[in-house]
Amino acid sequence: MSSQSVSQPPVACRSLTKVFDGDRVVDDVSFELEAGTVTGFVGANGAGKTTTLRMLLGLVAPTSGDALVDGRPYRELAAPRRSVGAVLGGPGAHPAHAARTHLRILATAAGLPLERVVEVIDLVELDAHAGRRVGTFSLGMRQRLALAAALLGEPRILLLDEPVNGLDPPGIRWLRWLLRSLADDGRTVLVSSHLLGELAEIADRVVIIDRGRLIADAPLAELMQGQTGRFEDVYFRLAGTLTRPATATDVRSRP
């Protein structure tokens, strides 16, 4: 491992800005992620979460600022699937392909061993359905397949956009266990979700953006210190009210 990758945070956004047709969808956002943590990425629809993730994955070019993985843009990574796994809008599988076939295609394209396909199918609990065509899958099963694809390269970093969509209560509980286990194994996990209560169950830290601007970046325990309500209450006290990143003191001082 190079000295650059050792000294740099796994993920960093630095003054990240994206303008679409004069609209600043992401506006001067800066935060860093740490290895071995789950960070909840929170904001209303249109807040800029997905655009931020797309910039981190090299799918959208920043207007200004940097979206970095191990200190460099995603497109400069030598083996991106071994560095970053992502769930962004479903598995992207051909509906006529079996789930196992889809994962084998991805593994072959990335130069990964086919044995890894068996491992991730087992990990996401799709063993009984691996031979089924993806077009017959429920939304929850598609989410599990997307997670399997993200985990193929045993990445150190996971970027997940609404991975809970379509999961039933047991599936949500399973996902909570999986993400916590991955972080405890030293991986870096960034997960966006509208289910704030679920995020509060697993997140070590939260990053909140509102209308493209960063309004909070702090350990969840600090934000919740001295609060009698739920994380949802803290979020709504902050959203849209601050012009700088919030600290725990900001939250405790608000009515």
- Residue 146 CA to residue 60 CA, distance in Å, equals 20
Domains of the chain (ranges, CATH numbers):
3-253 (3.40.50.300)
- What percent of the chain has a predicted confidence (pLDDT) above 70? 89
pLDDT value of position 196: 85
Helices and strands (H and E) in the chain: how many: 11, 9
Return the H-helix or E-strand segment holding 4. helix 3-7
Residues in the chain: 255
- Residue 32 CA to residue 214 CA, distance in Å, equals 12
Mean predicted confidence (pLDDT) in 40-64:
94
The two structure tokens encoding residue 235: 């979020």
- Only one residue has tokens 């394209």, namely 109
pLDDT at 214 exceeding the cut of 70: yes
pLDDT value of position 150: 96
Provide the pLDDT confidence category of residue 3 given band limits of 50, 70 and 90. Answer: very low
Return the H-helix or E-strand segment holding 160. strand 157-161
Q: Are 25 and 212 in contact (CB under 8 A)?
A: yes
Average confidence score pLDDT of the chain: 88
pLDDT value of position 64: 97
pLDDT value of position 227: 67
Write the pLDDT tens digit of every residue in 78-135: 999 999 999 987 778 899 999 999 999 999 999 999 999 999 999 999 999 999 999 9
